[in-house]
Amino acid sequence: MESAREKTCEEQINDSLENTISYIREMWEVYIGQSPETDEITEDSFHEYGLSLEYSSSEDGEPGFFRYLLSWGGPSSEFRFFTDPDLCCYRIEYWFLDWFDGASRRLYDSDKDLMLEIFDMWRDCGTLEYLIEQSRDY
């Protein structure tokens, strides 16, 4: 009898991305006042979601990126925001990672627009500059 095979990250990433984006969209719409609060989602839900936002610099000449870490362990999930020197985001990727395995998807269309709107909020309030300075201190 064969044991049940664990699904690879590649096999799981599309569902994970769809569910994650859907939930973030619901929280964001409540946060910006486009949807009413519910028993599950309040105005504070967006800021309580996720584990961290950090800047990951590169030592090998690759561009650094901002990481919005949503979960870690097994599996972990995160969004990566790649910017130019003026902190304008030109690419967003969703990563789904597990032990010795991983998969990513580039965001497009309304998913990208949503995450760009959130990213712009972080940029406009000075969070991104702060994160870059913090990364230099380590």
As a whole number, mean pLDDT of residues 73-95 equals 93
CB 36 within 8 A of CB 26: no
- 69 contacts 95 by C-beta, under 8 angstroms: no
Tens-digit pLDDT profile for residues 39-67: 899 989 998 999 999 999 877 767 789 99
The predicted-structure confidence for 86-129, as pLDDT tens digits, reads as follows 999 999 999 999 988 999 999 999 999 999 999 999 999 999 99
Indicate the pTM of the whole model. 0.90
In this prediction, residue 85 carries a pLDDT of: 87
User: What are the boundaries of each domain within the chain?
Assistant: 9-136
Name 92's bridge partners.
81
* pLDDT tens per residue, range 3-41: 577 889 999 999 999 999 999 999 999 999 999 999 899
Residue written as tokens 């690419």? Answer: 91
